[in-house]
């Protein structure tokens, strides 16, 4: 799938289709949702599925490449090795990666994952996110996730995993106060554009590492006038951002296709005509 977020629709399950025994009900944000409208989700089973998917991906060569490319992009921000590694406390992440030094600075924001309890693509993308967080040692609580389609059960699953679930719709306008890895898989262009707008300064943009749809591909697929007009921040960064395409095996093409690591090296930013105007941040 490419950046088709504007056309995205959520298929609703048939009435009563998910009524199963042994459902574990965890508290939700909205009493109305949980007691009235929301079908209950088997939290334990959902987490097991996600962990199984992580195990499957972990063995994949392309997954190693994704982790490596994120580490390369994040290497400028990674902490220096501690003086004495023996005194270091073990990580409490889902799966500890011992190859990298702990990262104190990076945080993560994930938008547009989709309904991962019912959608296979979204579940794979969530599993990949968890593996990526581990590879750069971002603590799970430092990863904020938001999608308006999340059910209360899905929000509970995400919290149970240790992630931070945002309750407000930022519409992509997250101000990066520190180096931040943004994970926007197959999201609409407006989210990317808002993100760039919010961080539109020579100080902020280099703090962003985006894993999402490549900007050059977006440009190629969009009518030029519309791209320049409606997505002017993406359009302006196409010539100056650095894009590294990420590999994807044929069998997972719908899930991980058209994805790149995008960064904004200082060297190109002075060429941006409006960057010194300060954007909206």
Q: Could you say whether residue 122 binds ligand SAM (CB under 6 A)?
A: yes
Query: Which DSSP letter does residue 23 get?
Result: P
Stretch that binds ligand SAM, among 64-72, 76-84, 121-129, 231-239 (CB under 6 A): 121-129
Q: Which of 57, 78, 109, 113 binds ligand SAM (CB under 6 A)?
A: 113
Residue 192 or 200 with smaller CB distance to ligand SAM? 192
DSSP labels, 127-188: HHHHHHHHHTT--GGGEEEE-TT--HHHHHHHHHHTPEEP-S--TT----SS-EEEEETT--
Q: Give min distance, CB of 116 to ligand SAM, in A.
A: 8
CA dihedral angle for residue 191, residue 192, residue 193, residue 195, rounded to 10 degrees:
90
d(CA 66, CA 124): 14
- CB neighbours of residue 160 within 10 Å: 14
Structure tokens at 182: 């943004």
Nearest CA-CA partner of 213 in 174, 249, 256, 269: 256
Query: Under the criterion CB under 6 A, does residue 147 sit at the interface with ligand SAM?
Result: yes
**Residue 2, both tokens:** 């490419």
- Of the candidate spans 46-54, 56-64, 85-93, 106-114, the one that interacts with ligand SAM by CB under 6 A turns out to be 106-114
7-66 residues near ligand SAM, rule: CB under 6 A: 8
Q: In whole angstroms, how close is the CB of 7 to ligand SAM at the nearest point?
A: 7
Q: Per CB under 6 A, does 192 bind ligand SAM? A: no
Taking CB under 6 A as the binding criterion, the range among 29-37, 184-192, 199-207, 231-239 that sits at the site for ligand SAM is 184-192
Q: Which of 28, 46, 118, 125 contacts ligand SAM by CB under 6 A?
A: 125
**Shortest Å, Cβ 184 to ligand SAM:** 8
- Using the rule CB under 6 A, which residue among 26, 149, 240, 252 binds ligand SAM? 149
Rounded to a whole number of angstroms, the minimum distance from the CB of residue 185 to ligand SAM is 4
Tell whether residue 117 is a contact of ligand SAM (CB under 6 A). no
Min dist. Cβ of residue 3 to ligand SAM (A): 7
Whole-number Å distance between alpha carbons of 163 and 108? 10
Q: Is residue 197 close enough to count as binding ligand SAM by CB under 6 A?
A: no
Map tokens 């056309």 to a residue.
7
Q: Which residues of 207-223 are buried (b: 16+ CB within 10 A; e: fewer)?
A: bbbbbbbbbebbbeebe
Residue in the structure block whose two tokens are 């679930």: 165
Question: Where does this chain bind ligand SAM (CB under 6 A)?
Answer: 1, 4-5, 8, 111-114, 121-122, 125, 146-149, 169, 171, 185-187, 191
């Amino acid at each position: 799938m490419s950046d088709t977020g504007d056309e995205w629709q959520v298929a609703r399950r048939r009435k009563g289709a998910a009524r199963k025994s042994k459902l574990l009900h965890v508290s939700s944000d909205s009493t109305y949702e949980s007691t009235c409208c929301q079908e209950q989700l088997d939290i334990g089973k959902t987490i097991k599925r996600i962990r199984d998917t992580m195990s499957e991906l972990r063995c994949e060569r392309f997954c190693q490449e994704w982790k490596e490319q994120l580490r390369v992009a994040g290497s400028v921000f990674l902490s220096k090795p501690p003086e004495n590694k023996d005194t270091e406390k073990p990580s409490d992440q889902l799966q500890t990666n011992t190859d990298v030094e702990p990262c104190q600075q990076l945080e993560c924001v994930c938008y547009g994952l989709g309904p991962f309890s019912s959608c296979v693509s979204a579940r794979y993308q969530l599993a990949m996110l968890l593996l990526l967080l581990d590879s750069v040692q971002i603590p799970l609580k430092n990863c904020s996730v938001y999608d308006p389609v999340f059910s209360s059960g899905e929000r509970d699953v995400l919290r149970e995993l240790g992630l931070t679930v945002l309750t407000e719709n930022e519409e992509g306008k997250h101000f990066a106060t520190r180096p931040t890895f943004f994970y926007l898989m197959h999201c609409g262009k407006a989210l990317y554009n808002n993100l760039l707008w919010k961080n539109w300064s020579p100080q902020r943009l280099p703090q962003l590492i985006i894993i999402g749809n490549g900007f050059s591909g977006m440009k190629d697929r969009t009518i030029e006038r519309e791209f320049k007009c409606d997505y002017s921040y993406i359009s302006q960064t196409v010539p100056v951002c650095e894009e590294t395409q990420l590999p994807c095996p044929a069998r997972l093409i719908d899930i991980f296709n058209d994805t790149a690591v995008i960064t904004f090296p200082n060297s190109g930013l002075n060429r941006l005509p409006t960057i010194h105007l300060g954007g909206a941040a």
